[in-house]
Amino acid sequence: MRSPSTRRVRAWSIAVLVMATVLAATVSPAGASELVIMATTDVHANVYPWDYYANRQADVGLALVDTLVQRIRAEHPGALLLDNGDLIQGTPLGYYVARVQPLRPGQAHPVIDVLNRMGYDAATLGNHEFNYGLDFLERTLEGARYPVVLANVYRPGTREPYFTPYVLLERELDGRPITVGVIGFTPPQILVWDRSNLEGRLEVGDIVDAARRLVPEMRAKGADVVVALTHSGASPQARWQPGALLENAAYALAREVPGIDVIVAGHSHLAIPGDGLPEHPDGIVDGVAMVQPSYWGRALGVVTLELEPEGDGWRVAGRRAELLPTRGVEPSARVLQWAREAHETTLAYVTSPIGRTLVSIDSHASRLTDSGVIQLINDVQRRYVEQALAGTPWEGIPVLSAAAPFKSGRGGLTDYTDIAPGPVTIADVASIYVYDNTLKAIEVTGAELRAWLEHAARNFRQVTPGAGETPLLEPRFPGYNFDQIDGVEYEIDVTRPVGERIVRLTYQGRPVEPDDVFILATNNYRADGGGGFPATGAQARVVLDPQVESRQLIIEQIVEAGTIAPQPDGNWRLARTYLDHPKAEYVYDLVERGVFLGGLTDGQRLGQLGLDEALTWGLWAEMVERALGIQLQVANPEGVVTGRQALASLGDVIAFPALEAADVGLTRADGAQLLSGVLAALEAVPAR
């Protein structure tokens, strides 16, 4: 559920290449042997280098990883290959196997089949492995020809491991036997995020607690080296104490548990060495080598341990960690062949048209204003819940709906929903609703509703009114937690501190009172506690749990309607307090229309309005296209637009017979004023 920006990906890619050059020159101590450990994490069912949502090639997938694996094995035939979880969910391929054409008895999951053929030595489970339920997971794991280990998941009421907690791999290194222990961990929060699938069937404990019990046991049984597959991010700020149940515990694991040599981190979709742990640029934490190989097969993690004989065993004399990016790597022909049938079947499934849209549907503006993509989700959810509650004790209670933008730029400049007017396919719907969530409806009070919205409003920074120099968005806040609730009206005042931002919250024109009662349509992740919202998790008062997938409801709605034209109803907006500029009214207008977002496609500047900055042709062209649907031909995107040029570029839309403009460069605020005026003029023309 998380992805770094393109800027971050580039940064760690460069850092990794530099580090690899330095490490290549490192000489092992005399008499030392090298044990190479390769790892992947958060592959999310990316096998082919293909973006199923955009229907184009992409620098992702196990086919790219395998090319690097084969190169390393050519130099180090005994190198180990491990996976750190979140493997089977995340693309339409994973969904197709789980929901559309489920596995037949004895059939191997296509992703597991690729891991088998690549020769993986062991793996653990991530939180998304549990999304399709325990029964599907167990059927899937039956096809694995490598051990799957998980140490902090137990049978109810016991500390008896539900899965095999660890494995001791017997290998030979330079003619001497070596035992490599591999143990696995998953976030304790799976019992929150997938409560419906798991409650009563298993329990989950603290990662560090489990490691403290079991790592000494592994050592006592002869492990010369211990590798912890930890589907958990590395957060130096996460303070551990017994029973802490940290979600991102990899750093605490390195600091708190002696006897671990290597940690493969994951879950947070970051890179170590790199942006996932800048405090340790070499990936070494208290003598533990740590790697986190990004996500989607964008990198292969490699740890090299320099080992010296010691008695009957081995001693670690040196360690180094590195990431090898897959960008630009030639895909492995054998993986393409192994997965071809699954890929082509998925491609045929997702590219089948199911209806048409009369308007573009995109998520570029979805963290700054009401948008068509969120409106579509909320309309479908409200409609289903209202119909399902008819004739029940909850009939007549107002139904609201909460939805968040899943693709909002966190994974880079292509991490947005972008559907042009015309045919709509299943891949398009999967781009709108990325996750395999199911619909749930819960009861909330007016006080809980306000608290819910305040929690979501952490999406924004607190800003001092100005000319838009400070970006409006909080960069580390994930877009998928920015819930926007339809059915009420409200404003978010970003000049106020967190907890005091929701103003003018009304229902059908009257203020929402603390003891008002509503039914809120949401998804199982949120209702079960994902994101830490109020009135969720153990406190949730569930009134409807039909176990139907939200994405499927959207598909059915489009099929039923045939043609759709989702338009935001503008039930919420940013309070007009965050600018102090003579042309603020025009900017407010364009922000609320989803036209002016700062650097629209620049993930680094999204929401940084910079009103007194020069208006470039690149930004002007994007604004014009979003406002008027006109694509301008731009020769120099960085060039500054003059008044005369701006008017000339709109000549096909509206005439300016009495308006003269100078050959003087415009500011962004000037551009907003001009475009807002054009829109107002066009809206004033009576429809024919």
Instruction: Render pLDDT for 291-341 as a digit per residue (tens, 0 to 9).
Output: 999 999 999 999 999 999 999 999 999 999 999 999 999 999 999 999 999
Is 387 in a helix, a strand, or coil?
Answer: helix
Please, which residues bridge with residue 313 across strands?
310
Looking only at the bridges linking them, the beta strands covering 176-185 and 225-230 are parallel
pLDDT for res 655: 63
Q: What angle do CA 333, 42, 269 make, to 5 degrees?
A: 125
The count of other CB atoms within 10 Å of the CB of residue 405 is 28
Instruction: Identify the band that residue 371 occupies on the pLDDT scale cut at 50, 70 and 90.
Output: very high
Looking up tokens 């204003």 gives: 369
pLDDT for res 105: 87
Task: Tokens for 183, please give them.
Answer: 């143990």
Average pLDDT, the chain: 91
Give which of 276, 280, 346, 375 is closest to 319, Cα–Cα: 280
Angle at which helices 584-592 and 668-684 cross, to 10°: 70
Beta-carbon contacts of 392 under 8 Å, excluding residues fewer than 6 positions away, are none
Q: What percent of the chain has pLDDT over 70?
A: 93
Q: What percent of the chain has pLDDT over 90?
A: 79
pTM: 0.73
Going from the C-alpha of 404 to that of each of 194, 434, 478, 591, the distances in angstroms are: 18, 11, 10, 18
Residue 400 class from Cβ within 10 Å (0-12 exposed, 13-18 middle, 19+ buried)? buried
Whether 157 and 462 have beta carbons less than 8 Å apart is answered as no
Whether 292 and 268 have beta carbons less than 8 Å apart is answered as yes
> What's the mean pLDDT in 126-135?
93
Give which of 131, 134, 243 is closest to 193, Cα–Cα: 131
- State yes or no: pLDDT of 78 exceeds 80: yes
Instruction: Identify the band that residue 10 occupies on the pLDDT scale cut at 50, 70 and 90.
Output: very low
The count of other CB atoms within 10 Å of the CB of residue 375 is 22
Instruction: Identify the band that residue 31 occupies on the pLDDT scale cut at 50, 70 and 90.
Output: low
- State yes or no: pLDDT of 686 exceeds 80: no
Q: How many CA atoms lie within 13 A of 619 on its CB side?
A: 29
Distance CA 184, CA 466 (A): 50
Task: Tokens for 303, please give them.
Answer: 């740890």
Q: Phi-psi category of 292—alpha, beta or left, where left has phi over 0 and alpha has psi -120 to 50?
A: beta
Angle at which helices 372-389 and 550-561 cross, to 10°: 90
Beta-carbon contacts of 193 under 8 Å, excluding residues fewer than 6 positions away, are 127, 130, 525, 528, 529, 530
Residue 509 class from Cβ within 10 Å (0-12 exposed, 13-18 middle, 19+ buried)? exposed
Looking only at the bridges linking them, the beta strands covering 422-425 and 353-357 are antiparallel
pLDDT for res 661: 61
